[in-house]
Structure 1
């Protein structure tokens, strides 16, 4: 993984401030919340793709998270609302920060500068995962077909954490496997174009067809998982529930200071 971190030495007082930030719920991946004691952010320069293989936003609106929030790749592509001393900004998770404990994140320089002073190096923050954030239509990168050992898929602009990506084969669907590098892999020997059924953890679903092999970059689609017109997926004999029959979980909890009551279920840290 090609990641160049810019680490900074900061006064001890700054570190103490960061260490006493209130306990917050910082993310919700696959239906389980991760708990972090305190919260802080530094900034770094990501590699060309980041661990998530999503590319690096030019405006620096990206983040790397620790292993707990990264969740083996399930955190990839989600959006975080991060609040620091100077305000709030929204970033996309594109990378893994192997050395970051829970509650510590690395931000792109542009995002960091919006909520704190670059000269500080490390700032106290609170952050939470955005539920149903505004995003554009899905983008999908597809590799595979003849000469490849497997189908390889990366999905962008899904907003919420994804639960499944399935390959349509005849009247049925075959689930793809999700790796830590955010790549969904499936069967080999495919030809022509492929259709994928993409679902998130809240039951939103879209069927994207006509995806071609041999494209080196993301293919732009017209489909959205939520918040816009999107054709309904075709009926399937698979047991996967349709969006209309799935009861969505309660909205993700807001960031709360320690000691303030919340109706969210208890989280074991």
Structure 2
């Protein structure tokens, strides 16, 4: 399937990411409410979280519990999530497959996908919504399996609810020979270990602004820049996922940047990134990221318990709860006993846990 990044028709900034009929009979990874209310489990939260994963991934195995307290990202650490809107909507449609864009940025969203990374998909034209869902992640369930994918492309001919998966991703949820299968899916936060990244496009100047945003937990709803008087001005978004102002945004035309941006997520949360220097053609790590919503914080801890043992492999990186790097260790037994809560991260998979 050949896609033209510029062929999508312009779309109003409608912010209608999740308008669809909910499936009340299905469990969405965003919320554990149905299990919390119906479960008779009398064990501690660690055991309960493993039970939930078994219901989601149909997999159960023993995890080394010497130190790990998988306490749903520590329910007492409320700073890990923002009290923003939770979306538990399920969508239904048809899943198809195409070659994907691994090793390129050739999708409509302009997002580069690493060579060999087939965990991506193309959203149907309506829900692509003029690039509003670019960079967001979805949990897709098919006839024989389920998978998490990032939206990096648009499927012009797909109807509302449909998703076009990379071929390798499709084989995780259906038989390749089936070609077109029924699916259900919902939006989920992407797995990210760092901050939001921004990239100024080559050729940008104080007279022409063009920037892309990558590596965000949730879909981007709006980008604004701060003017000298302290007010905020929205930057127009193109249907190929760039933010563009043809006259530039520099009030002082003698220089380019730095800029202060306010980025709003589909959850309603806004983050401010201050004094971002202009670096032509480079991706800039901002150090700022959206917070998990409360329901997603609970779910992410549960879903990130490895569904296979190889998901959580050494070396292990240790950080303090405020993100300060402590050290790297080859085995769990090498990790020193610490009196305070820490974070352990598998360097291989990027999966993180709270340890106490």
Report the TM-score when normalising by structure 2: 0.51
Matches within 5 A, 1:150-229: 150-170=208-228, 171-186=230-245, 187-188=247-248, 189=253, 191-227=256-292
| Separation in 2, partners of 1:87, 1:135 | 23
1:29 Cα deviation (Å)?
A: 5.3
Unaligned runs of 5+ in 1: 5-27, 228-247, 252-269
Match of residue 49 from structure 1: 106
1:197 Cα deviation (Å)?
A: 1.0
Match of residue 3 from structure 2: 3
Equivalent of 1:103 in 161, 168, 181:
161
Aligned residues: 207
| Separation in 2, partners of 1:169, 1:110 | 46
Q: Which whole-Å deviations, capped at 9, do the CAs of 1:209-264 have from their partners, x for residues lacking one?
A: 3433343242222111114xxxxxxxxxxxxxxxxxxxx9x99xxxxxxxxxxxxx
Give the stretch that moved more between structures: 139-148 or 44-53.
Answer: 139-148
Contact 2:204 2:280 in 1 (8 A): no
Contact 2:92 2:183 in 1 (8 A): no
Match of residue 78 from structure 1: 136
Equivalent of 1:68 in 126, 150, 158:
126
1:169 Cα deviation (Å)?
A: 2.3
Q: Tell me: CA distance 1:149–1:98, structure 2 relative to 1, closer, same or farther (3 Å).
A: farther
Unaligned runs of 5+ in 2: 5-13, 22-90, 297-356
Match of residue 311 from structure 2: none
Equivalent of 1:142 in 190, 193, 200:
200
Contact 1:34 1:68 in 2 (8 A): no
Q: Tell me: CA distance 1:180–1:195, structure 2 relative to 1, closer, same or farther (3 Å).
A: same
Larger Rg: 2
Q: Are 1:123 and 2:181 an aligned pair?
A: yes
| Separation in 1, partners of 2:196, 2:205 | 27
| Separation in 2, partners of 1:82, 1:212 | 38
| Separation in 1, partners of 2:274, 2:202 | 15
Normalized per residue, which structure has more strand? 1
Contact 2:218 2:290 in 1 (8 A): no
1:33 Cα deviation (Å)?
A: 0.9
Contact 1:144 1:213 in 2 (8 A): no
Matches within 5 A, 1:87-102: 87-102=145-160
| Separation in 1, partners of 2:122, 2:269 | 25
1:180 Cα deviation (Å)?
A: 0.7
Give the stretch that moved more between structures: 83-92 or 117-126.
Answer: 117-126
Report the TM-score when normalising by structure 1: 0.66
| Separation in 2, partners of 1:66, 1:31 | 12
For the aligned residue pairs, the C-alpha RMSD in angstroms reads 3.1
